[in-house]
Structure 1
Amino acid sequence: MTTVVKRSGTFTETEIDDEIVVMHLGTGEFYSLAGTAATIWRLIDGTRSRSDLAIELSGHFASQGADIGFDVDAFLGQLAAVGLVDVD
């Protein structure tokens, strides 16, 4: 099982209403996470795998499992590409 972890020390975050704003400390770039992206970000706690995230997400949103898995993979890929998460 591959665990997804946030790269502590590389970002700061704040929650404003239903949105999470993440600032990458190395680049100064801001990322606005809302809806599904915010839910996934909240679920990344260092104990869940990519599969666990997809299963948990399916409980929050009515969607097909394959669609959710694809969306989770795409989002995690984006987060990893900018250095905010590691998939161990």
Structure 2
Amino acid sequence: MLTITGKVARSPSVLSSDLDKSIVMMDLEGGNYYDLGDSAATIWKLIEEPKTLDEICAKLAIKYRTSAADCADDVSRFITVLREKALVVIEP
């Protein structure tokens, strides 16, 4: 798993559109489409402006009534997958 020490930012090559509780995304470079459901869509919305893992988890903890520590592993795994697919970048 990736250690996320910088800010998570959306890749400029990804277009996205909000559809009720989901997000539809298109990777312009890879030509792939993605559909993000509930919590994944929330994370995508949160990183409209670059955020640290701690900032993302703090917001999710409030929304989903959990602790930031409890969501850190799941969010880190999700961000790692997004990064591997070049949908996000990690800024210093």
Q: TM-score, normalised by structure 1?
A: 0.88
Which amino acid counterpart does residue 4 of structure 1 have in structure 2? V
Native 8 Å contact 1:22 1:32 kept in 2: yes
Q: What is the aligned counterpart of 1:2 among 2, 6, 25?
A: 6
What's the TM-score, normalizing by structure 2? 0.85
Q: Return 59-68 or 72-81, whichever deviates more.
A: 59-68
Identity in percent: 29
Give me the whole-angstrom Cα distance separating, in 2, the residues matched to 1:15 and 1:46: 16
The verdict on how the C-alpha distance between 1:16 and 1:47 changes in structure 2, with shifts beyond 3 A counting, is: closer
Contact 2:10 2:50 in 1 (8 A): no
Report the residue type matching 1:40 in the other structure: I
Task: Check the 8 A contact 1:3/1:46 in 2, yes or no.
Answer: no
2:39 matched to 1:36?
yes
- One of 14, 25, 28 as aligned partner of 1:25: 28
**Count, aligned residues:** 87
